[in-house]
């Protein structure tokens, strides 16, 4: 294990040195209530005449896209809608939508929805760029490598930050895998942050997607690959989420606070696309792959358990984040500040009816889940402490509320299938 830790840290150090030379970019932004109305004219100026809109049936039924589609018709821009995206989008989703893109001679892609729609759209764009490379061979780092068609992200949840990231997370139902594709070419060219699109979100999706964004900010900040820019983005995202999420959960029609949460999710996305995430995400992806637990819900439950498990290795950075974001009382030492920060996360979860454990985990599945989580996290994720097989096994037992672990099964149980409505990364 010692030699493996040395190898992982060496890999991360080299990657951090190389990172500034990669072709990073930030999306062009449209921000504010009603800003979606500006998008058709912007597409027309970019000479887009044929468009694939990627969404899901829930968005279509709510009618959220209708004003946008009407604007496209007013600009004589042809569009075709793919509404078959499922939570934890699949390779099949991507291939079906790719056929629709090609059949209609589309030039650009608009992702309209939560993280799943954006991940699906990125996968489609990657397949357009690399028509001879199957999605399964894009898993990992820098496997796309060619310019995508114009990609626009219109988030309807304030959570995944996928509108700012280089990642697309894809599921393979045949193997129960859920894995990221990471390449700077997947960063959307344009992001539309219109809080009016989030006003109809159910409370449970508001809470878990918000905690998803908090997880991005926290994991990015406590890792070893930060820059001044990622630190600043993570701090501001943490502050905005902790100041506003519970209030929006309790009063969902507050468009001002909704806008602040959208900005927080975007900033958290900027932070983790450069600084990366950690074991919370690696474990959450396995839960999504095995049991279709929505990503935001999985992150919400796992986050405090992993932060506690890190112990002293994460205390200094957690304390620094907590103080900078105004999330704890001043004057606390590092240990007390870190513990207070974790306690505040737990209180937020409890206030928003997010359970402490996920009891759909089957003990027989844990060895393979651990194997896949380790394969995702090590050596890439620059975590405070590199964990091994025994550590992740214990963490999954804790998350599942198994007898003898730190989480009590009576503290609040949830079946993954009870939350299928949530759109996750």
Q: Which residue has the tokens 């993280």?
A: 115
Phi then psi for 27, rounded to 5 degrees? -65, 150
| pLDDT for the residue numbered 184 | 95
Spell 120-148 as b/e; 16+ CB within 10 A means b.
Answer: bbbbbbbbbbbeeeebeebbeeeebeeeb
Q: Contact at 8 Å (CB) between 44 and 73?
A: no
pLDDT score at 417: 34
For residue 305, with 0-12 CB atoms within 10 Å meaning exposed, 13-18 middle and 19 or more buried, which class applies? Answer: buried
| pLDDT one-digit tens code per residue, 121-159 | 999 999 999 999 999 999 988 999 999 999 999 999 999
**105-125 pLDDT, tens digit each:** 999 999 999 999 999 999 999
Percent above pLDDT 70 for the chain: 95
What is the residue-averaged pLDDT of the chain? 93
Q: Where are the domains of the chain?
A: 20-198, 203-419
The CA radius of gyration of the chain, in Å to the nearest whole number, is 20
Q: What are phi and psi of 146, to 5 degrees?
A: -130, 155
Report the pLDDT averaged over residues 81-103: 95
How many Cβ atoms from other residues are within 10 Å of residue 184's Cβ? 16
Q: How far apart are the first and last CA of the chain?
A: 31
Q: Which tens digit of pLDDT belongs to each residue from 358-397?
A: 999 999 999 999 999 999 999 999 999 999 999 999 999 9
Pairwise CA distance, residues 365 & 402, whole Å: 14
203-419 homologous superfamily: Dehydroquinate synthase-like - alpha domain (1.20.1090.10)
Cis status of the peptide bond prior to 379, with omega within 30 of 0: yes
The answer to whether residues 241 and 261 touch, using CB atoms and an 8 Å cutoff, is yes
- The predicted-structure confidence for 262-275, as pLDDT tens digits, reads as follows 999 999 999 999 99
Q: What is the per-residue pLDDT for 403?
A: 57
Q: Of 117, 102, 62, 53, whose CA–CA distance to 82 is shortest? A: 53
Condensed to tens digits (0 to 9), the pLDDT of residues 182-203 reads: 999 999 999 999 999 999 999 9
- Greater confidence, 260 or 175? 260
CB of 213 within 8 A of CB of 198?
no
**What CA–CA distances, in Å, run from 54 to 61, 68, 125, 246?**
14, 13, 11, 30
Q: Which residue has the higher pLDDT, 174 or 96?
A: 96
pLDDT of residue 354: 98
Can you tell me the mean pLDDT for 351-359? Answer: 96
CATH number of 20-198, picked from 3.40.50.1820, 3.30.160.60, 3.90.1010.10, 3.40.50.1970: 3.40.50.1970
User: 307 with 318: CB under 8 angstroms?
Assistant: yes
Tens digit of each residue's pLDDT (9 = 90 or more) over 10-20: 999 998 999 98
CA pair distance 48, 46, nearest whole angstrom = 6
Position 1 scores a pLDDT of 81
* Range in 205-209, 249-253, 300-304, 409-413 with the lowest mean pLDDT: 409-413
Among left, alpha and beta (phi > 0; psi -120 to 50; other), residue 198 is alpha
> According to the model, what pLDDT value does residue 12 have?
93
pLDDT for the residue numbered 23: 86
| Tokens at 143, concatenated | 């496997």
The structure's pTM equals 0.92
How far apart CA 212 and CA 241 sit, in angstroms, is 10
Mean pLDDT of 201-210: 96
Residue 88's pLDDT is: 83
Tokens of 412: 């609040």
Whole-angstrom distance, CA of residue 281 vs CA of residue 301: 11
SS3 content of the chain, % helix, strand, coil (to 5): 60, 10, 30
Q: Best-predicted range by mean pLDDT among 33-37, 399-403, 417-421?
A: 33-37
Can you tell me which residue has the tokens 């900010």?
217
* 3-class secondary-structure state, position 333: coil
d(CA 204, CA 292): 16
């Amino acid at each position: 294990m010692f030699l493996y830790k040395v190898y992982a840290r060496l890999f991360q150090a080299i990657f951090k040195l190389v990172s500034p030379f990669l072709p990073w970019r930030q999306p062009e932004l449209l921000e504010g209530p009603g800003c979606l109305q500006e998008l058709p004219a912007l597409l027309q100026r970019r000479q887009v005449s044929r468009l694939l809109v990627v969404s899901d049936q829930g968005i279509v039924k709510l009618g959220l896209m209708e004003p946008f589609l009407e604007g496209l018709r007013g600009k004589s821009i042809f569009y075709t809608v793919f509404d078959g995206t499922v939570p934890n989008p699949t390779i099949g989703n991507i291939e079906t939508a790719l056929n629709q893109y090609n059949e209609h001679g589309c030039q650009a892609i608009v992702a309209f929805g939560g993280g799943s729609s954006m991940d699906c759209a990125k996968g489609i764009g990657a397949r357009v760029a690399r028509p001879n490379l199957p999605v399964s061979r894009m898993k990992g780092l820098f496997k796309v490598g060619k310019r995508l068609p114009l990609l626009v992200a219109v988030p309807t949840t304030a959570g995944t930050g996928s509108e700012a990231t280089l990642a697309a997370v894809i599921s393979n139902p045949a193997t129960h895998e859920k894995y990221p594709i990471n390449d700077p070419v997947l960063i959307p060219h344009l992001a539309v942050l219109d809080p009016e699109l989030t006003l109809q979100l159910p409370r449970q999706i508001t809470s878990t997607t918000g905690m998803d964004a908090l997880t991005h900010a926290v994991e990015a900040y406590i890792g070893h690959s930060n820059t001044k820019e990622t630190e600043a983005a993570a701090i501001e995202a943490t502050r905005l989420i902790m100041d506003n999420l519970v209030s929006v959960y309790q009063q969902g029609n507050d468009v001002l606070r909704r806008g602040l949460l959208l900005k927080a999710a975007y900033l958290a996305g900027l932070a983790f696309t450069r600084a990366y995430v950690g074991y919370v995400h690696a474990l959450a992806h396995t839960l999504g792959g095995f049991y279709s637990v929505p990503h935001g819900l999985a992150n919400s439950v796992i986050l405090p358990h992993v932060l506690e498990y890190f112990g002293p290795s994460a205390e200094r950075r957690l304390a620094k984040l907590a103080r900078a974001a105004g999330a704890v009382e001043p004057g606390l030492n590092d240990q007390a500040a870190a513990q207070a920060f974790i306690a505040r996360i737990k209180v937020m979860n409890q206030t928003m009816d997010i359970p402490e454990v996920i009891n759909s985990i089957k003990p027989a599945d844990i060895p393979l889940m651990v194997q896949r989580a380790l394969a995702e996290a090590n050596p890439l994720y620059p975590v405070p402490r590199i964990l091994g097989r025994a550590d992740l096994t214990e963490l999954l037992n804790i998350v599942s509320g198994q007898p003898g672990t730190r989480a009590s099964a009576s503290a609040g149980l949830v079946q993954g299938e009870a939350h299928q409505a949530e759109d996750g990364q």
